[in-house]
Structures are given as C-alpha cells and as structure tokens.
Chain A
Amino acid sequence: MIQSITLPMTPEVRLNLKAGDLVKLSGVLYTARDAAHKRLIELLKKGMELPMPIRDQVIYYVGPSPAPAGRIIGSAGPTSSYRMDSYAPALLDLGLSGMIGKGLRSPEVVEAMKRNGAVYFGAVGGAAALIAQTITQAQVIAFEDLGTEAVRRLTVRDFPAVVLIDSRGNSLYETGPAQYGAHA
C-alpha cells in the first residue's frame, strides 16, 4: 500500500510514518544541496533570516539538470545525503520536518531527527526523469548564482518515496538488508 502525504508535514503525520512505508508526496518543498546548506548555516550563524521557512517543511537534496525550453525543470533525482550531514541538525532543531535524499545518515542527524520528530525519505537515485514529471512548479528563491545548487521552491504531485529513517530512528537501511540478505 502506498500512502499519500501532504507537504509541509504536520507533527501528527510525521510521527505516524514508519521506516519502510511507501509514500507519494504532494505539496510544497524546498531544494538545497551542499553549497546552499553551507550558506544557510552561515546566515544562521550571523543571526540573519533564512530565504525560506523551515518549520514543518521538507528539504529535497537535489541538483537538477537544466530545464530544456518548454519544461519547468530538468531531471531531478536525489543526491547523496551524507554530504549534508554536518548541516542538517541545525535545521532539524529549527523544526524541519523531513529530508529527501539517498544514502546513509550520520548518528548526529538521526539523533536530531529523534529529538525533533522528523523523517528521512528516500527517492530512487537514477529515476530522475520520472521524478521530474511529478514536479508541477519550480521557482528559484535564493542563491541563484549557485546554478543547479540554488534553492528552489517546488510544488510536487505524487512524488514517489520511501521512509528510510523514521522519527524514532528506525532505519530501513538496517532492517531491509537484514531481511533479504542470506545468512550463511
């Protein structure tokens, strides 16, 4: 069964999600990868305002390919999340409700997720053209000079994802392979 989830996520919704749940996400989210995270954290350190809301919001780790004429965005699959690990806890402590990416997270990120009741979703790496079809609006809202790494506000409909790590810290990366591996 695939659950439909509305973004941004209320605390009730995200606390109910469990590692391994298959979902389709609809609503608004923000994109940011390494360079944008670095700037967001610098703004926070200076006590300045961030260019987008954080509370209850979801950040998607993606650097899309350029949009051809007539399209709102190019291919837009997830990038490896570990490169955002040193920045993520500060955003989670500001109320970030979820992240979408691929790959493992550090114990510090998982602790910050548990502390704040947040969820880590996985999108399928390499399903980038398919994912682009679920993006109905895209607008660069900050750091335009970063090109593909600029912060974008996306509206998505039925964006396919899976709950990799839930708000209690359970990880599909541990339970999944343990279930399907051969224990010789």
Chain B
Amino acid sequence: MRTVDVSEISQAVRRMYLEMNVAVLPDVRGAVEKALADEASPAARYALSQIRDNYDVSARTGLPLCQDTGMAVLFITAGQDVHFAGGDLYQAVQQGVRDAYRDGYFRKSIVSEPLFDRKNTGDNCPAVIHLSLCPGEKVHILAMAKGFGSENMSRVFMLAPAAGEEGVLNAIVSAVRDAGPNPCPPVIVGVGIGGNFETAPLLAKKATARPLGVHHRDERYAALEKKALDRINALGIGASGIGGLTTALWVSAEYAPTHIAGMPVAVCICCHASRHGEVTL
C-alpha cells in the first residue's frame, strides 16, 4: 500500500495545464512544419506560417497558444494499492485546474448549466474526470485541454457490422468534410471503433493524444489510419479551410470489443492546437 497525498495530484495537474496551454508539443510542431514545407496553396501557407510563428510568440510571451484554453479533460488511472490521503481526490484535481487557469491567465470557458442560465463558473471548473483502476501502486494522469471549435464537430455513428471498413472510412471522412473550416484545420482525428454508445467517444478522444507519427500496433488498423488520412487530405480543405493539401496532420484509431449487432464509430476532431500532457506519480 502506497499513500499519495492529494495535494501532489493538484500540483501535477496545475503544472500540466500551465505547460500544455503555452508550449506546443514537439510532434505537433513537427507535423505543422512538414505541412508548411509541402503546401502548394499560398493562402494555406500564409495560415500555416502564422500557426508556426504563433508557437514562438507563445513561448516568448507566455500567452496561451489559443485564447480558447478549452475544457479540462483528465483520464486518471490509479493503482488499486494506492491510498489517496489528505482530502477528496476529485476536488484536488479541480483545484489543480482552477490554479492553473488563474495563474496562467487562461480563459475560463465553463458554464454551470447548459440551457437556461449559461453562467460562467469563473474558474474553468468543473473539469471532466475519467477515473479507472489498475493493478499496482502508481497513478497515471493524461490531461487534455479541449477547445470547443473542434469538439462541436466531433461525431458518433452507430454503424451496422455490414458497413465494414468502407463504412468506417466514410464515417471518418464525412465528419471531417462536414466540419469544413470550423474545427481549425489542420486537425488531428481520433477514431474509436467498437465498444458502445459511450465508450467509442472515450476511445476516440484518448486516441487524439497518441503521438503523431505512431500508428496502431495492429497493422489492419494502421492501414485504416493511413487510408483515412489520405482520403481526408484529398478533400482539399487545407489549413484554415481555405484550400490546401493538409487538412489533417494525423489519424489515430483505437478499437474495443463490441456487441454482435453493432459497430459504433466515434470521430473526435481535435484542432491543430492539440494540448495534452501525461505524468506518472
């Protein structure tokens, strides 16, 4: 049995959000630079060069990469031999998010009730927390800041098993095509296949945090990722949606067991301002 004080969790969460909102991930920067080098459209080059220069301005000024610093989403995997001490784990996570968004001068974008009042909570809380258990004594946290321009363009399709690979590809490509310029392309596409109505989107969202350039370990899914990326980039939507060769930087797919009667497919679209971090405590 290992004791982890929840204040450690708060501090780790705070640190991750302060960093991810300001410092671009190296794989994202690399993919944007490659897109800029390959781009044929002058307008898309104008957009991509601004996206690249924005990284340096953020690093220099400490201003967030995007003014929409997102809704905080955390996947926490706790070892079952960990004892959390010193307070409520959930509250500790919220405190870390609250501290980061205050100290980083990040935008607070959360409303407490969605339909009638839409009153801002003022501290970017509550964060969305997915907690699961695993064997052992470690705590792993995957933290994301998810902008809503792209979240609003994400989709779930409840396909029939007979739809097959072509059906999955059509679902992915149609989600990106329908989104057009709205999710701030070039995008990163996370795909969740299988599971059920609520787990497919979780798979898809987690997939957006896989390092760009890394394919699925199952070569059939790796091939699906490649085909999807090629078809998306053939759409010509381009950076900012104004026409260009790179609409998506990467496609990552994950799968899970599902029911004999179904094949859920979730497509999580993440903008080029893909912000996430991981830590193991």
Binding site for B on A (CB under 8 A): 2, 20, 22, 62-68, 71, 74-77, 79-80, 82, 102-104, 122, 124-130, 132-133, 147-148, 160, 162, 164, 172-173, 175-182, 184
Q: In the bound complex, how far is the Cα of B62 from the Cα of A32, in angstroms?
A: 25
What is the predominant secondary structure among interface residues of chain B facing chain A?
A: loop
Please give, as numbers and ranges, the residues of chain B lying within 8 Å of A147 by CB-CB distance.
Answer: 120
Task: Please name 23 pairs of A and B residues whose Cβ atoms are closer than 8 Å in the assembled complex, sorted by A.
Answer: A64-B107, A65-B63, A65-B107, A75-B63, A77-B67, A102-B182, A103-B241, A125-B240, A125-B271, A126-B184, A127-B51, A128-B54, A128-B65, A129-B54, A130-B50, A162-B47, A162-B240, A173-B242, A176-B236, A176-B242, A177-B238, A180-B41, A181-B243
* Residues of B with C-beta under 8 A to A177: 235-238, 241-243
Q: How far is the CB of B240 from chain A (nearest CB, A)?
A: 5
A126 touches B243 (CB 8 A): no
Known: A103-B180, A126-B54. 5 other contacts (CB 8 A): A63-B107, A65-B69, A75-B64, A160-B46, A180-B245
Chain B interface residue count, CB cutoff 8 Å, equals 48
Total number of residue pairs linking A and B with CB closer than 8 Å? 170
Query: Chain B residue with minimal CB distance to A162?
Result: B43
Tell me whether B61 and A129 are in contact (CB under 8 A): yes
| Contact pattern, B 26-50, Cβ under 8 Å of A = 1, otherwise 0 | 0000000000000011111011001
Q: Is the CB of A22 within 8 A of B50?
A: no
- A68 touching B63 by the CB < 8 A rule? yes
The answer to whether A80 touches B182, judged by C-beta atoms less than 8 angstroms apart, is: yes
Q: Are A65's CB and B43's CB within 8 A?
A: no
List 10 tightest A-B contacts by C-beta distance, closest first. A176-B243, A181-B236, A125-B184, A180-B236, A182-B234, A129-B63, A130-B54, A65-B107, A127-B50, A75-B67
Q: Which of B107, B239, B241 has a CB less than 8 Å from the CB of A173? A: B241
Kindly identify, within residues 52 to 108 of chain B, every residue whose CB is under 8 Å from any CB belonging to chain A.
Answer: 53-54, 57-58, 61-69, 105-108
Take A124-B50, A125-B184, A126-B51 as given contacts and tell me if A179 and B67 are in contact as well, using a CB distance cutoff of 8 Å: no
